[in-house]
Amino acid sequence: MVELSRRRVLTAGAAGLVVAGCTAEPTPAARTDFDPTDWGSVREQFPLTRDVRQFSAYVLAAHPRPVAEAIERHRAGLDKDTHAYLDSQGGGEDAVRAAAAEYLGGRAEDVALTDSTTMGLGLLYAGVKIAAGQDVLTTEHDFYSTHQALRMRGVPVRRVRLYDDPALATADEMVAKIKAGLTSSTRVVAVTWVHSVSGVKLPIRAIADVVAAHNADRAPAERALLCVDAVHGLGVAPERVADLGCDFLVSGTHKWLFGPRGTGIVWGKAEAWAQLDPVLPSFSGPAFGEWFDGRPAGPTTAALFTPGGYHSFEHRWAVAEAFRFHLVIGRERVAARTREQVERIRAGLAGIASVSLRTPAADSAGLVCFDVAGEEPQAVVARLAGHGVSATVTPYRERRVRVGPSIVTSDEDVDALIAALR
């Protein structure tokens, strides 16, 4: 049982993060072949082919070298002497939680570990305490995983439309729509930080303030809980998650964060966990204690909410490296770099008459969505592929061309994208 084994501690060190009290992992900043201040060096950490401009890297992460090496180290250890290695890495999940907390700005004990955003949303919406007569407020712009997880829960769900034309969406309008949708029966507000159908970024902090005002005089079981699918914000937006004000934030760590494929987190406010029931048995100490000797496990915590069972631990433990990789580069620097490229794409697209941008100019993250007059999005994406540019079509009824600049693209890539579109 991994959770109950040896405890290890992560402490912040001069060169980023240093694992104390256990076999030291080489931190990204300590590597001689990686200069986190040099974007060329950052790009070199990825084995992604140079023959393709990688504007869809956010769909599923390639592993940067520190992550790939950590996976390989753990895989080799598990393959050589499985049980002994498992035992030796008893604090592996703690190290992930600690690195995540450092990045998110919150507490390690508020991070649950999952396999994906979809798994996290499924666990959250299956487990959140919703009494008879209460309902869920969500929006028309969320992804399948949110809508379907809510449908499977079988509670009443109301959907609001936050904007008609995404290109004209404003923070004020979106906040007002959520405010108008709140009623005394609203138990959950289920939204997505960055809409993957349009690139619109929601003002989560302002929405959290509206929800907090709505909750002001309500008992905990009557309060609306703000729950956010953050997968297109985590690893690209500058905000610290713990400052957003939401109750729960769900994300894969295998998109913009470039973490191991098949990994994710649920982060919750300390006081919000008790509003959930675990959905799958965890391998945490309190859960086992309940089974062994009937000692009540107590209120739900992130550890109790983390699904148990043995996992692909080489990937799970390597999530710590993904957070460290971003920490040494710097959350704000990643956000600024992405934003610069977004602006460059917008400027380039503005010069192509047949292109209509669907992502607003205001605060966006890394996604840029657009239509090309008279062209099917799939045909545009196929033709871009012919020019060595990787883009995607939005997996929604509203089909659009979608590109995402990131830490694996450059100004030169953006210029090639625009030239290909021309």
Ligand X SMILES: Cc1ncc(COP(=O)(O)O)c(C=O)c1O
Q: Where on the chain is the footprint of ligand X (CB under 6 A)?
A: 116-118, 143, 145, 192, 196, 229, 231-232, 252, 264
CB of 130 to ligand X, least distance (A): 21
Q: Which position has the token pair 């005089």?
A: 217
**Based on CB atoms, which residue is closest to ligand X, 127 or 264?**
264
Smallest distance from the beta carbon of 120 to ligand X, in angstroms? 8
Helix 204-215 to helix 171-181 angle (10° resolution) is 30
Provide, rounded to whole angstroms, the least separation between the CB of residue 422 and ligand X: 28
Q: Which of these, 26, 33, 9, lies nearest to 67 by C-alpha position? A: 26
Neighbours of 51 (CB within 10 A): 6
CB of 302 to ligand X, least distance (A): 18
For the CB of residue 48, give the shortest distance to ligand X in the complex, in Å. 18
The residue nearest ligand X at its CB is: 252
Residue number, 64 or 286, with CB nearest to ligand X = 64
Smallest separation, CB 121 to ligand X (Å): 7
Count CB atoms within 10 A of the CB of residue 6.
Answer: 14
In 10 A of CB 219, how many CB atoms?
7
User: Please, what is the minimum distance in Å from the beta carbon of residue 157 to ligand X?
Assistant: 17
Give me 117's structure tokens: 């955003």
Q: Which is nearer to ligand X, 234 or 297 (CB)?
A: 234
Which residues, at least 6 apart from 339, have a Cβ–Cβ distance to it below 8 Å? none
Report yes or no: 391 and 402 within 8 Å, Cβ to Cβ. Answer: yes
Which of 17/67 has CB closer to ligand X? 67
- Tell me the closest approach of the beta carbon of residue 261 to ligand X, in angstroms: 9
For ligand X, the closer of residues 56 and 215 by Cβ is 56
Residue with tokens 């809510």: 150
Task: Specify the residue, 25 or 115, whose C-beta has the smaller distance to ligand X.
Answer: 115
Identity of the residue, 143 or 273, whose beta carbon is nearer to ligand X in the bound complex: 143
Nearest CB to ligand X, comparing residues 145 and 390: 145
Shortest distance in whole angstroms from residue 142 CB to ligand X: 7
Q: How far is the CB of 252 from ligand X (least distance, A)?
A: 3
152 CB neighbour count, 10 Å cutoff: 11
- Residue 118 or 139: the one with the smaller Cβ distance to ligand X is 118
Is the CB of 194 or the CB of 417 nearer to ligand X?
194
Exposed/middle/buried for 44, CB within 10 Å: 0-12, 13-18, 19+?
A: middle
CB of 408 to ligand X, least distance (A): 17
Whose Cβ is closer to ligand X: residue 22's or residue 396's?
Answer: 396
